[in-house]
Structure 1
Amino acid sequence: MTWLHNAGCRGLDTELFFPAGPQGPGRREADEAKAVCKTCPVRRQCASWALATAQEYGIWGGMDEEERVRARRERLLSARENRPPGEEGN
């Protein structure tokens, strides 16, 4: 996780990246966190780590909880579609 040393969020208040919820007061914080992520040089590494480690809460790599669930679902579907013939049942 050496990529953390170059993270755009390094040194910022971590509460910004763990907003209260998708509605109400948390939405503004989530948008602010995502704005930090947009300019982060290690955004992809952060998002990949969050997906690989199944992070349930917070903004990681510019994605909130719902976006990570969708991304994991898309990865699973893509992996299934790209399996060689005969491996469908595995």
Structure 2
Amino acid sequence: MAHTPHAPHPTEVDDFPARQQLHGACGRTADRAAWLEQRETAAKAVCGHCTVRVECRRYALTTREPYGVWGGLTEIERHRLLADGLRRPESVHRG
């Protein structure tokens, strides 16, 4: 007889963020904000040497990419740029 995996119970999915915070690596970090900032800083460092940074940034702004660092910009930085009406990714600080 073949084993049929069961679908996850709704509460198994619904409480994932809480379980992730308890059991995930980020949840075990004493200062989660500092951990997230370190990840952003590391991602931005990679972008700083990238030859397609401007194109990547333009893509993220054009598609309104909601997550992560793209072209050296965080989602918050991209949101601010779009809210301010700046559409030229080349004019943004290239950090």
Give TM-score scaled by structure 1 length: 0.56
- Structure 2's unaligned 5+ residue stretches are 1-25, 27-31, 88-95
SS in 1 for 2:33: coil
Does residue 64 of structure 2 align to residue 54 of structure 1?
A: yes
> What value does the CA root-mean-square deviation take over the aligned residues?
2.2
Cα–Cα, structure 1 residues 74 and 40, in superposed 2: closer, same or farther, change >3 Å?
Answer: same
- Share of identical aligned residues, percent? 39
Cα–Cα, structure 1 residues 25 and 48, in superposed 2: closer, same or farther, change >3 Å?
Answer: same
Which structure would you say has the larger Rg?
2
Q: Quote the Cα distance in structure 1 between the aligned partners of 2:40 and 2:46.
A: 10
Q: Quote the Cα distance in structure 1 between the aligned partners of 2:52 and 2:81.
A: 18
- Structure 1's unaligned 5+ residue stretches are 1-19, 78-90
Cα–Cα, structure 1 residues 76 and 28, in superposed 2: closer, same or farther, change >3 Å?
Answer: closer
Report the number of matched residues: 57
Match in the other structure for 2:37 = 27
| 2:74 paired residue among 64, 68, 81 | 64
The alpha-carbon deviation at position 65 of structure 1 amounts to 1.0
Deviations 1:63-83 (A, max 9, x none): 001100111122269xxxxxx
- Higher RCO structure, 1 or 2 (CA under 8 Å, sep 6+): 1
Give TM-score scaled by structure 2 length: 0.54
Match in the other structure for 2:85 = 75
- Matched to 1:64, the amino acid is T
